[in-house]
Structure 1
Amino acid sequence: MTRIFAASTLYGAMTVAAAIDAGQFGRDDRERVLLVCNNVDIPEVATPLHHMPGAAAVLRRFHRVVYWNDLIYPFHPAVWAPRDEDAPLWRTVMAEKMAIRPGPLELVVESIQVKPAQTLCKIFSDATLAVYADGVMSYGPTRNDLPRPLHGRIAQVLYLDLVPALLPMLLTEYGIPSRPVHTGAVLELLAELTEECRPILDRAIPRQLARGGPGTALLLGQYLSPLGILTEEEEEDLHRRMFEHAVRLGHTAVVFKPHP
């Protein structure tokens, strides 16, 4: 009995790890495998999540880690998918490479509308599915239409309750229920991760920002212009308005973190 959690970011792995702590995947004896997918443009020069600072706190929730990029090398996770007629063969190959035991299989993925999530769902066609939201995009509608053989296997959508009382729209058109990850479990895991990263944070955060505390605002960017949702000029204007709003709220320092 195996449950595979596919994650491309430490934030996503933290989301499912907190859900595990909260018992939202059940209390059965399934082996938990973290399947790390490094989807950046050039994965060879980027640090995968299981080697990042703070990862140890998250990895303790899983029995083992498998690196998807190594399994499909030299192909890129965001591009590669087997032909439909080859999917059963790849199911056998990947089960052997990942040492998946016979028995029920559940696949937990992010970004169900694109690869590598769709690639994994195609290969492991016998698995039941769950989707988790890695970020705020779950509050918007599903980006692409999904075929019945895919959305019909999805049991639930898990998301972080980042905007209280706002329900996500992701996959609602298929009648798939969504549940927030238990906030207490998220905060406890964040505390573990923060403690592990504290020496790095102390070195990286300028002293004047650390002393500022609540006076510092953190602005998070999103890749809206590459997706064609906004033009580059409109996205820059959005960032400027975010900055101005933070100042109006009384913040005396602003840190901007672009995507990702």
Structure 2
Amino acid sequence: MIQLIQASTYFQVVSLAAMVDAGLLPEAERRVLVLANGSQMPEITTPLRGNPGFEALAARFDDVVDLGELLWPRRPGQFNPRNEELPLFEKLLRHRWDLGAGQVSLVLESIQVNPAQALARIFFDAPISVHSDGLMSYGPTRNKLSVQMTQRLRETIHIDLVPGLEPMLLLEAPVQRKVLRLEPLAAVFAELAAAAGPAGLDLPQGAALVVGQYLGSLGILDTARELELHHHMLLAAREAGAGSVVFKPHPSAGTTAALQLRARAESLGLEFRILHTDLLAETVITLMSPLVVISCFSTALISAKYMLGTPVIAVGTGDLLQELSPYQNSNRIPVSIVDALLVQELATPAEAGPDDELTPLLRAVAYCMQYRNLPGLREDAAAFLESNYSSFAAHFKRRRLAALDLPPTWAHPSRANRSRVWGRSIKRRALRVGSRSLEKLARTLQETSSRVSR
């Protein structure tokens, strides 16, 4: 059987290579790596094929194809064929990717959205495995999947980023869980670091590494507040004893923010270097052995701590837990994980054993996020909140608890506050409805005027 393996980021290509090395992917006669660049601005970011070390990673697969090149100028995330187009696209992909007429199997990521869903719809009878590379796999499924797709799900394959923590992705489906341990992944990063060599980057030893996150693109923070967040990261670096800082900006971030941050660093007496490289943060950490890695809720914090054994500092997670909106924002679980582990200093499930607090916390958060899809978690969530709300209040919003009638009732907003909130919500909805009504009236008047003029 031919296996199509979709990857939308370079980190996924690395993790898939480690999964091949560890023998975790389903058996297949031929493995085809399908590149589907998930960047919001693929035109100005490095193509997946252009990343350093790609050829060595690609050698683990039989073929490499690029869905983005085939769909251009449409981006992979916009690929959403109509039902009547599915047979046509199946013929096209089988022809262009030399798949023949036999059955294929799929190894997809982000099964809730396109292009993963589009590929699953095109190959309508293919068994599906879901791979996940980051912290979002520990969160609940964002959208309810169709019965036809759920019946084809076979397994999930996730990285054991938080040792011992079970993912909640596809918790509602009867899937087998496969775990990629950190050792095979660390070996792949060591391979990439050896190929890159330290001389090319001339990285300072003993500096703090600040990993930037482009939160503006997510609509979470505006530019000014994002700059302040990075400023607090510089303060954390100085407090940790660093005299110099290497700043690795997000690939989608502009140069202005980094230059502003340089001025902030110099005012704090810190040497500052902007690191422009396509190397992943984990490869950079392997090369430079930083004094400390600092970020907000980047996956690099968790992989640095548990995979590479590097000290880490998380900055701004408490504020971000309150800023995320709506409550079911898929970034909430990653932020909660980083805050719980690195700020509240909870032990991982592997370390805590029967005293594990992280798992019940995240299951309570997941229920509040996706209560319709996960009704079976209500009882456990209520019990956790009844006993532990005071210690973990930052992870929950009082209005959400009130709306779901969850304990503790003393934390629910007062009736007056709720009335004001609901009043504002009703007013916003009325304005939206009114706007749509005015637009409809304007179109009607325009059509009538056109008919009269004729």
User: Matched residues in 2 for 1:139 and 1:240: separation?
Assistant: 29
Shift of the alpha carbon at 1:30? Answer: 1.7
Percentage of identical aligned residues: 39
Residue segments in structure 1 that go unaligned for 5+ positions in a row: none
Q: By how many angstroms is 1:188 displaced?
A: 2.1
Matches within 5 A, 1:1-260: 1-26=1-26, 28-198=27-197, 201-206=198-203, 209=204, 211-212=205-206, 216-228=207-219, 230-232=220-222, 239-240=230-231, 242-245=233-236, 247-260=238-251
- 8 Å contact kept, 2:125–2:152: no
Q: Residues 57 and 189 of structure 1 are in contact (CA less than 8 Å); yes or no, is this contact kept in structure 2?
A: no
1:78 match: secondary structure: helix
Conserved 8 A contact 1:130-1:156: yes
Residue 172 of structure 1 aligns to a residue whose secondary structure is: coil
Change (3 A) 1:170 1:243: farther
SS of the residue 1:65 aligns to: strand
Structure 2 Cα separation of the partners of residues 141 and 240 of structure 1: 32
Superposed displacement of residue 18, structure 1: 0.9
| Shift in Å, 1:9 | 1.9
Amino acid at match of 1:104: Q
CA contact (8 A) 1:19 1:182 kept: no
Amino acid across the alignment from 2:201 = A
The one-letter amino acid of 1:170's match is L
Count of paired positions: 250
| Larger Rg over CA atoms | 2
- The structure carrying a bigger helix percent of its residues is 2
How far does residue 68 in structure 1 lie from its aligned partner after superposition?
0.8
Where 1:158 maps in the other structure, the secondary structure is: strand
Letter in 1 for 2:209: L
Go from structure 1 to structure 2 and tell me whether the alpha carbon gap of 1:250 and 1:162 turns closer, same or farther (over 3 Å shift): farther
Looking at structure 1, the residues matched to 178 and 87 of structure 2 have their Cα atoms a distance apart, in angstroms, of 32
TM-score (normalised: structure 2):
0.50
Unaligned runs of 5+ in 2: 252-454
Q: Secondary structure of 1:111's match?
A: coil
Whether the 8 Å CA contact 1:36–1:68 is kept in 2: the answer is yes
Asked if the contact 1:2/1:32 (under 8 Å) is kept, the reply is yes
Displacement of 1:235 in angstroms is 5.3
Structure 1 window deviating more from structure 2 (77-86 vs 216-225): it is 216-225
Cα deviation digits, residues 55-86 of structure 1 (max 9, x gap): 12201101111111121122111112210121
Q: Distance in 1 between matches of 2:71 and 2:225?
A: 38
